[in-house]
Chains A and B, each alone.
Chain A
Amino acid sequence: MQRANVDIKGLQIGFGGLKVLDNLSLRVAPSEFLVLLGPSGCGKSTLLNAIAGLIDVRGGEIHIGDRDVTFAEPKDRGIAMVFQSYALYPRMTVRNNMSFGLKVAGTPRDEIARRLNEAAQMLRLTELLDRRPSELSGGQRQRVAIGRALVRHAGVYLFDEPLSNLDAQLRAELRVEIKRLHARLGATMIYVTHDQIEALTLADRIAVMQGGVIQQLDTPKVIYRAPVNRFVASFVGSPAMNFIPGRIARDGNATFIAGESRFSLEGYAFRGAPSEAPAVLGIRPEHVEVTASDDPATVPARVEMVEPMGADSLIWCRLADGTAFSLRHDADAQAQGGDTLPVRFPAETLSLFDAKSGQRL
Chain B
Amino acid sequence: MRLSLSSRASTISALLPALTVMLVVYIGATGWTVWMSLTNSRMLPNNNFVGLRQYELLLGNDRWITSVHNIVIYGVLLVSLALAIGFLLAVAIDQRVRAEDTIRSIYLYPYSMSFVVTGLVWQWLLNPTLGIQHVLRSWGFQNATFDWIVRPETAIYCLVIAGVWQASGLVMAIMLAGLRGIDEEIWKAARVDGLPKWRVYVSIVIPMMGASFATAAVLLSTAVVRLYDLSVAMTNGGPGIASEVPAKFVMDHLFERANIGLATAAATMMLATVIAVVAPYLYWRARKGEIR
Contact = CB atoms under 8 A, between A and B. Distances in A.
Interface of A: 49, 52-54, 73-76, 79-81, 83-92, 100-101, 104-105, 148, 152
Given A91-B207, A100-B203, A83 B195 contact: no
B113 interface: no
B189 interface: yes
B204 A91 contact: yes
B192 A104 contact: no
Interface of B: 183, 185-186, 188-196, 199, 203-204, 207-208
A245 B227 CA distance: 81
Nearest to B193: A101
Nearest to A83: B185
**Residue of A53, A73, A89, A91 with most partner-chain B CB within 10 A:** A89
**Residue of A75, A87, A148, A152 with most partner-chain B CB within 10 A:** A87
27 contacts: A49-B188, A52-B192, A53-B191, A54-B188, A54-B192, A73-B194, A74-B192, A75-B191, A75-B193, A79-B192, A83-B188, A87-B183, A87-B188, A87-B189, A88-B189, A89-B189, A89-B203, A89-B204, A91-B204, A92-B204, A100-B203, A101-B192, A101-B194, A101-B195, A104-B199, A148-B189, A152-B193
- Report whether over half of chain B's contact residues are helix, strand or loop; otherwise say mixed: helix
A75 B185 contact: no
B192 A75 contact: yes
Given A75-B191, A81-B189, 7 more contacts: A54-B188, A75-B193, A87-B185, A87-B188, A91-B208, A101-B194, A104-B199
A278 B199 CA distance: 63
Given A87-B183, A91-B204, A80 B192 contact: yes
Contacts of B188: 49, 52, 54, 81, 83, 87
Contact of A100 (B185, B191, B193, B196): B193
A92 B191 CA distance: 17
Contacts of A84: 185
B254 to A, nearest CB: 47
A90 B192 CA distance: 17
A79 B189 CA distance: 11
A264 B189 CA distance: 55
Given A75-B194, A104-B193, A104-B196, A85 B208 contact: no
Contact of A90 (B190, B191, B208): B208
Contacts of B191: 53-54, 73-75
Contacts of B199: 104
Given A91-B208, A100-B203, A83 B193 contact: no
B196 to A, nearest CB: 7
Nearest to A86: B185
B70 to A, nearest CB: 37
A116 to B, nearest CB: 14
A81 B185 CA distance: 11
A105 B189 CA distance: 15
A89 B188 CA distance: 11
A74 B183 contact: no
B172 to A, nearest CB: 23
A160 to B, nearest CB: 8
